[in-house]
Chains A and B, each alone.
Chain A
Amino acid sequence: SQQGEEDPQALSIQEGENATMNCSYKTSINNLQWYRQNSGRGLVHLILIRSNEREKHSGRLRVTLDTSKKSSSLLITASRAADTASYFCATGNQFYFGTGTSLTVIP
């Protein structure tokens, strides 16, 4: 299985702080994607990083990829209450999802 695994499983921070969550996967990949899911809602694509990229930015998001360690991290800077959601990484053409990190941002 190419399933990704995120950690921590749950993270609670104060508004304005940075949130970092990690993802590890098992096999070689072409790209890795991060998604956000608000409770009971569908997935929202956040960012895609290709296997030949090491870091990518999008607004307050910063994603890193270390293919040698088969891991990726998602950093959300200056968090807001609206960032409260579950975050998943996904790999592979068929997108095997990890268990997700539940982020709570306290106003």
Chain B
Amino acid sequence: GAVVSQHPSWVICKSGTSVKIECRSLDFQATTMFWYRQFPKQSLMLMATSNEGSKATYEQGVEKDKFLINHASLTLSTLTVTSAHPEDSSFYICSAFAPGTGIGEQYFGPGTRLTVT
């Protein structure tokens, strides 16, 4: 089946620094990828839709200047958390549509745990 990877799997950074998280579709091309965040014991919340070659579409309440999304190729989307603060500590998960399914099945990455100290 389709595989989506994320890198890094976990990262610890200091407050005020920026962190980049990569999401790759390993064996298929994904024109659309999604970014989610999840706080402990809570559901996933869609942050933004990342479209290859165009600007990401952010969900209401998500700061686009803080969470920079770049979908530069059909297999890579990146999420950069700029000027990170402790409240940005969360589990970030990306997903991508696998082509050919036609029915909207998504494949999820393993997630990246971000801890901001």
Contact = CB atoms under 8 A, between A and B. Distances in A.
Contacts of A31: 103-104
Nearest to B106: A95
A93 B111 CA distance: 20
B46 A94 contact: yes
Interface string A79-107: 00000000010000111111110100000
Q: For this complex, into which size category does the number of interface residues on chain B fall?
A: 20 to 34
Contact of A40 (B36, B43, B91): B91
A97 B104 contact: no
Contacts of B93: 42-43
Interface of A: 30-31, 33, 35, 40-45, 48, 50, 88, 93-100, 102
A45 B105 contact: yes
Contacts of A96: 46
A30 B101 CA distance: 13
Q: Which of A41, A42, A98 has the most CB of B within 10 A?
A: A42
Interface in B29-44: 34, 36, 41-44
B113 A42 contact: no
A88 B43 contact: yes
Contact of A99 (B6, B43, B91, B109): B43
Given A43-B93, A94-B34, A95-B95, A48 B103 contact: yes
B44 A42 contact: no
B104 to A, nearest CB: 5
Q: Which of B34, B45, B91, B108 has the most CB of A within 10 A?
A: B108
A2 B95 CA distance: 18
A45 B46 contact: no
A93 B91 contact: no
A30 B110 contact: no
B28 interface: no
